[in-house]
Amino acid sequence: MPYRHYKGGAYRIVGLGRIEADLSQVVVYEAMRDRSQLWVRPLDVFYEAVETAGGGAPRFAPDWPPALDCLDFLPRATVLQALACYDAPYRHYHDRRHVLEMFEAARARGIRLTPAQALAVLFHDAVYVPGCEHNEAASAALLPSVATGVAADMLALAARIVLDTRAHVPSVDEAETVLDLDLLRLAAPADAFAAHTEAVFAENRALLAAQTGLRDEALYQDFLRRRIAFLQALAQRERLFLTPAFADCEAAARANIAAMAAAARRA
């Protein structure tokens, strides 16, 4: 998410660096309105407080999306810590954008996520290793270590919902909305759906190459075969989307899956 300067400008952090002379850390960032040049500030200066007409304020602060208001029971530092789990460079699909999209979709559709549902969305892919069978269990196990101070019963319900995202079968009613949000990208416009497919391939490419010994186009075609088989198995269900709030997504998702399979047969 962008950072907002206390004077109003929006900026995006590109990364952290070090000054060669003394190894002090700096923040490298760019203006959202003009990305033609990069800016650098010492890390402590970037985050320091400044005096304004309204009192003390951080020089730069996360530009908090309204869609994250459902997480107001957590300290913002905790939310940022959880979101940072999604920033590993090998994540191309299960990344921060996916989580923020889920929160934004809930807000856009007028869905008020309960605290347990909001926690489940935030943590459902917090641990993600391509090909690992235990991602959801590890993500659920991470909840009490990061979301400290949250009631045990709420953590337990959130963990149960996270575990339900593995097979996309709800074990509790509260899981249905989270599962629908997690599958929402299946109903994306055709170009976005294709981009998501490429992102899934990029995320799994190294693992599949090691497992199959394939390369280049042969590797991609093997990936497509696996991806189509997974999606077609999912499409065998009576409904992909479980709640009325997402009933409009059913036809689009099924059309995307069918078009993908048809294109593979023609290839």
CATH number, residue 43: 2.30.30.320
Domain end marker among 15, 31, 62: 62
pTM: 0.85
**In whole numbers, what is the pLDDT of the chain averaged over residues?**
96
Same domain, 178 and 195: yes
Question: Which 3 state secondary structure label does DSSP give 4?
Answer: strand
Same domain, 130 and 41: no
Q: In terms of residue numbers, what domain contains 21?
A: 3-62
Question: Which 3 state secondary structure label does DSSP give 113?
Answer: coil
Is residue 49 a contact partner of residue 59, using CB atoms and an 8 Å limit?
yes
**132 CB contacts (<8 Å, ≥6 apart)?**
none
Q: What is the pLDDT of residues 6-58, one digit of tens each?
A: 999 999 999 999 999 999 999 999 998 888 899 999 999 999 999 998 899 99
Alpha carbon separation from 72 to 109, 150, 153, 160, 179 (Å, rounded):
19, 12, 18, 21, 22
- Report the pLDDT value the prediction gives residue 62, as an integer from 0 to 100: 87
Is residue 176 a contact partner of residue 168, using CB atoms and an 8 Å limit?
no
Distance CA 156, CA 116 (A): 8
Same domain, 42 and 162: no
Same domain, 39 and 82: no
123 closest CA partner among 149, 104, 96: 96
Is residue 67 a contact partner of residue 103, using CB atoms and an 8 Å limit?
yes
Same domain, 95 and 40: no
The total domain count for the chain is 2
Same domain, 55 and 77: no
Q: What is the pLDDT of residues 167-208, one digit of tens each?
A: 999 999 999 999 999 999 999 999 999 999 999 999 999 999
**The token pair that represents 231 in the structure block:** 């999606």
**Of 226 and 267, the one with more pLDDT:** 226
- Report the pLDDT value the prediction gives residue 1, as an integer from 0 to 100: 74
Same domain, 8 and 114: no
Same domain, 95 and 140: yes
- Report the pLDDT value the prediction gives residue 150, as an integer from 0 to 100: 97
Domain end marker among 47, 62, 77: 62
Same domain, 155 and 43: no
Task: Read off the pLDDT band of 92 (50, 70, 90).
Answer: very high
CATH number, residue 99: 1.10.1300.10
Mean pLDDT of all residues in 158-167: 98
**The token pair that represents 248 in the structure block:** 């409009």
Taking 90 as the threshold, does the pLDDT of residue 237 lie above it?
Answer: yes
Same domain, 152 and 45: no
Task: Read off the pLDDT band of 267 (50, 70, 90).
Answer: confident
Q: What is the pLDDT of residues 211-229, one digit of tens each?
A: 999 999 999 999 999 999 9
Same domain, 246 and 164: yes
Same domain, 40 and 161: no
Asked which of 75-84, 106-115, 175-184 is least confident by mean pLDDT, the reply is 75-84
Is residue 214 a contact partner of residue 222, using CB atoms and an 8 Å limit?
yes
221-229: Cβ within 8 A, 24+ apart = 221/267, 224/197, 224/260, 224/264, 225/264, 227/197, 227/200, 227/201, 227/260, 228/257, 228/260, 228/261, 228/264
**168 CB contacts (<8 Å, ≥6 apart)?**
179, 182, 183, 234
